[in-house]
Chain A
Amino acid sequence: DAKTTQPPSMDCAEGRAANLPCNHSTISGNEYVYWYRQIHSQGPQYIIHGLKNNETNEMASLIITEDRKSSTLILPHATLRDTAVYYCIVRVAGGGADGLTFGKGTHLIIQP
């Protein structure tokens, strides 16, 4: 799986958009970008994933650069409950024979 780089921490004001960057310059053509988050003392939660097109769901938007070397997760209207560690992971979709390799992620703190 390609390596990812994320800032260790970020702050965002409640109600504003939180933009979390991720660099994955060695991503392969068949690797997807997945985002998970882990709220304190809970298991990780799937947020969104994409290959090359931008994606949006009820939780977030994912913007992937044209060269696919980086991406941004956008939480459009952050709430206090969005405070969590966010993990950007790149891997091939399907399969499921291997576990995930988690980096250190970004600790997003939403300020009231």
Chain B
Amino acid sequence: GAVVSQHPSWVICKSGTSVKIECRSLDFQATTMFWYRQFPKQSLMLMATSNEGSKATYEQGVEKDKFLINHASLTLSTLTVTSAHPEDSSFYICSAPLLGQGRDNYGYTFGSGTRLTVV
């Protein structure tokens, strides 16, 4: 089945540094990738949508200059958390739509997530 590989699975960084998270679609082309953030004991919240070859669109309240998204190829999207602060500590998850037809559309496949801890 369609797999999205997400790396790293966890990262600890110092406050003020930047962290890059990668998501690769392994056996399909992902023209669109969604990025979610999940705080402890809360549900997933959509942060932004990246489209191959164009600028990402961000949800209301998400700082585009802080969360840089690059979708340079059909199989790779990256999220860079710039100048990270402790409040950015969260679980980040990427997802790609599976564009099947009719009921063969399984919706979305998700990466395994990245646990970011900023100290």
Footprint of B on A, CB under 8 Å?
32, 34, 36, 38, 41-46, 49-51, 87, 91, 93-105
Contact of B109 among A38, A46, A97 (CB under 8 A): A46
Q: Mark B86-119, 1 if CB is under 8 A from A, else 0.
A: 0000010101011111110111111111010000
Tell me if A43 and B43 are in contact (CB < 8 A). Answer: no
How would you classify the secondary structure of chain A's contact residues: helix, strand, loop or mixed? loop
CB pair A105 B43 closer than 8 Å? yes
Chain B residues positioned under 8 Å from A93 (CB to CB): 102-103, 105, 107
Smallest CB gap from A93: residue in B: B105
Interchain CB contact under 8 A, B105 and A43: no
Query: In the complex, which residues of chain A have a beta carbon less than 8 angstroms from the beta carbon of B99?
Result: 94-96
Contacts of A101 in B (CB 8 A): 46
For B36, what are the chain A residues with a Cβ–Cβ distance below 8 Å? 99
B: number of interface residues (CB 8 Å)? 30
**Chain B residues closer than 8 Å to A32, beta-carbon distance:** 103
Check B6 against A97 for contact (C-beta < 8 Å).
Answer: no
* Interchain CA distance A36-B110 in the complex, whole Å: 10
**B101 A94 Cβ-Cβ under 8 A:** yes
In the assembled complex, 24 residue pairs joining A and B whose CB atoms fall closer than 8 Å, in A order, are A36-B107, A38-B44, A41-B113, A43-B6, A43-B111, A44-B93, A44-B110, A45-B110, A46-B106, A49-B106, A49-B107, A51-B103, A94-B100, A94-B102, A95-B97, A96-B108, A97-B97, A98-B49, A99-B49, A99-B95, A100-B44, A100-B46, A101-B46, A102-B43
Question: Cβ of B34 < 8 Å from any Cβ of A?
Answer: yes
A95 vs chain B, min Cβ distance (A):
8
Contact of A46 among B45, B46, B108 (CB under 8 A): B108
CB-CB under 8 A from A96, the residues of chain B are: 32, 97-99, 108
